[in-house]
Amino acid sequence: MNINNFHLQNFRNYDDESIQFMPGINVLVGNNGQGKTNIIEGIYYLLTGKSYRVQREHELLKWNQQEFHLYGDFIVNHHKVFLESHYKDRKKRVKINQVPCQRLSDFVGTINVIFFSPDDLIMIKGGPSERRRFLDLHIAQIRPGYVSILNAYNKVIQQKSALLKAHIERSSKYAQLELWNKQIIELSEKIILQRIELTNRIQEVADQIYVNLTSQQENLKIYYYALGKKEFQEALAELPELLNQKMEQEIERQMVLVGPHRDDLHILLNDKPARLYASQGQQRSIVLSLKLGELELIRQEKGEYPLLLLDDVLSELDSFRRNYLIKFIESSRIQTLITMTGAESRLDDGALYHVEQGHIRRER
């Protein structure tokens, strides 16, 4: 999968700018605050419908503007694809080859992308929500219908949460909670099964990459805990009874306590929690292994590698890990966009672009 051309209008610090990318490695160089990351963010937003930096679209608007427009030309399986994303009047509109998509799930996954930045260490050090997000974003790209399932589940959780906080008779609340719980059971099974499948597949690939990356006798293990249990079949079997048992407690605390929105991905290094025992270097190796594992899984699924976006990553890696990553990219012929500051050593190969104050100029 390749991006040929990308255009930004009124996005972040860009007025109206186009950039033509080349196959292989593309390096975006410039001082901090010039707009390098904004290009990466714009491409990611165009392909996934979400920003990895903010939650609200209006924060992506250029100052004093009311709308932004992103579009690009891509190649997937030797076919040209034109994608558009237009935000106006607090609404997002997306198109594939100029045909409007009614749902975001019809759009996400058309072109696959993997994003990696130093902030991704939060996947190891942060809370369960970060690790669930990692799983869900990947599944959404290879299983488009998953977006609809996840949205339906989140809506049910919101409705149930509102009911728990509502001032109505307890008998009426119990009856309505049972109805919401039935939907939670149905949707939870679909979410958990897909998360389990991805966890098992990425575990096998990422562990081997980690061994190659570290050249050490360390093992990386990843387990998905559904409803607090390692055995998901047991968790699914107990889910209906658990929802009934927790109903009184949910009413008292006015929050939903049971469901895959509280699940976690356990990442172990040598059978110990990486969050607690892995060094900073080991954590970087784990995240890099997971990201490269994602690349490999998408290649297995789609027959070609996705677009790879690296935002200020090389400066955070030691020379061995940096060289391993670059060799992996080059040998796999993955089109990659890399941001660097002017103070960093530049890569000898690949197209080179200078970014300054929202303007892009190709230098090589």
pLDDT tens track for 153-165 = 999 999 999 999 9
pLDDT band at 343 (very low <50, low <70, confident <90, very high): low
Handedness of CA 266, 268, 272, 274 (dihedral sign): negative
> Does residue 132 sit in the same domain as residue 241?
yes
Instruction: Write down the pLDDT at residue 87.
Output: 95
The separation between the first and the last C-alpha atoms of the chain, rounded to the nearest angstrom, is: 22
Three-state DSSP string of 280-342:
HHHHHHHHHHHHHHHHHHHHHHHCCCCEEEEECCHHHCCHHHHHHHHHHHHHHCCCEEEEECC
d(CA 135, CA 306): 16
pLDDT, tens digit, for every residue of 208-234? Answer: 999 888 877 788 999 999 999 999 999
Give the domain CATH number at 295: 1.20.1050.90
Share of the chain above pLDDT 70, in %: 99
In our burial notation (b when 16+ CB lie closer than 10 A, e otherwise), range 317-350 reads beeebbebbbebbeeeebbbbbbbeeeeeebeeb
Q: How confident is the model at residue 337 (pLDDT cuts 50, 70, 90)?
A: very high
Distance CA 272, CA 259 (A): 26
CATH number of the CATH domain containing 18: 3.40.50.300
- Token couple for 293: 């594992």
- Candidate from 39-43, 102-106, 173-177, 277-281 with smallest mean pLDDT: 102-106
Average per-residue pLDDT in the chain? 92
- What pLDDT sits at residue 130? 94
Q: Which domain holds residue 183?
A: 119-302
Name the domain count of the chain.
Answer: 2
Residues 179, 313, single domain; the answer is no
Same domain for 103 and 215, yes or no, is: no
Q: Are strands 307-311 and 336-340 parallel, antiparallel or unpaired?
A: parallel
Q: Are residues 105 and 139 in the same domain?
A: no
Nearest CA-CA partner of 86 in 3, 5, 7 = 7
pLDDT of residue 346: 59
The number of angstroms, rounded, from the C-alpha of 137 to the middle of its chain's C-alpha atoms is 4
18, 362 Cβ separation under 8 angstroms: no
Whole-model pTM: value is 0.91
Residue 159: both structure tokens together:
């409705």
Q: Is the pLDDT of residue 344 over 60?
A: no
- The residue out of 254, 274, 302 marking a domain boundary is 302
Same domain flag for 197 and 296: yes
For the chain, where are the alpha helices, taking DSSP H only?
36-48, 122-125, 128-142, 145-165, 170-214, 232-253, 274-277, 280-302, 319-332
Q: Which of 2-6, 42-46, 115-119, 238-242 has the lowest mean pLDDT?
A: 115-119
323 and 297 in one domain?
no
Same domain flag for 181 and 330 = no
Calpha distance 43→2 (Å, rounded): 12
3 and 141, same domain (yes or no): no
Asked which of 4-8, 22-26, 61-65, 105-109 is least confident by mean pLDDT, the reply is 105-109
Query: Which pLDDT tens digit goes with each residue over 275-315?
Result: 999 998 899 899 999 999 999 999 999 999 999 999 988 88
Half-sphere exposure of 345 (CA within 13 A, CB side): 8
Q: Tell me: do 268 and 337 sit in the same domain.
A: no
Check whether residue 256 and residue 311 sit in a common domain: no
145-165 and 170-214 helices, crossing angle to 10°: 140
Q: What is the pLDDT of residue 217?
A: 76
Whether 191 shows a pLDDT value over 90: the answer reads: yes
In this structure, the answer to whether residues 79 and 140 fall within a common structural domain is no
Domain end: 302, 335, 356, which one?
302
Q: Among residues 252, 286, 302, which one ends one of the domains?
A: 302
> What is the C-alpha separation between 75 and 64, in angstroms, rounded?
34
For residue 96, what pLDDT band results from cuts at 50, 70 and 90? very high
- Residues 31 and 61 grouped into a single domain: yes
